Amino acid sequence: MDAQGGEAHLPPRSAAESALTMTQFMQPEHANSLGNIHGGVVLKLCDECGGIIAARHARRPAVTVTIDSVSFLQPVMLGRLLLVHGSISWVGTTSIEVTLQVEAENLLTGERLHTNSAWFVYVALGDDRRPTPVPPLLLEDEMARVAFAAGAERRRMRLARMSAR
């Protein structure tokens, strides 16, 4: 809070400041009877990665609000190294959209397959556990501006779907 009782100005932060790649080796406990990794395991890792990114950006706890979209493009096989790459694509007043891309690496050949893409949305929480303002996203280049505009459009579509219910 500032001296007038309003929110203090939050300086913009770049997506690079909070970007993250998490890795985990896929073991038998992650697999189904076909030897594919359960989609839920992949989603859990995406949510963990996205939640860390959102909290880093906000410097506040952040909780999942919605999983906007997940595409399962290729199965993840047992024995692969899963890489979850995430970065912020859009920021609102209290919410943060994180774009996630998942790759599965064959450690013996070095081959990497893009297996999943997703957008997760988080909201930052204040000390009262209610939504709290987050820093704006610093749009450093044209690619960041395009990603932000696409995120704003996904938000518009999410809100339209919710109001149609």
Give domain status of residue 24, yes or no. yes
Q: Are strands 13-14 and 137-138 parallel, antiparallel or unpaired?
A: parallel
Evaluate whether residue 165 is within a structural domain: no
Q: What was the pLDDT predicted at 35?
A: 87
Q: Of all helices (H) and strands (E), which one includes residue 46?
A: helix 39-58
In a domain, 2, yes or no: no
How confident is the model at residue 84, as a pLDDT? 98
Residues (pLDDT < 50) of the chain are 1-7
- Nearest of 15, 6, 41 to residue 147 by alpha carbon: 15
Judge if pTM exceeds 0.85: yes
Range of the domain at 110: 13-160
- Per the domain annotation, does 43 fall within a domain? yes
Does 103 reside within a domain?
yes
What's residue 50's pLDDT? 98
Quote the number of domains for the chain. 1
CATH number at 74 reads 3.10.129.10
Can you give the pLDDT at residue 112?
98
In the numeric block, which tokens belong to residue 21?
Answer: 């790649």
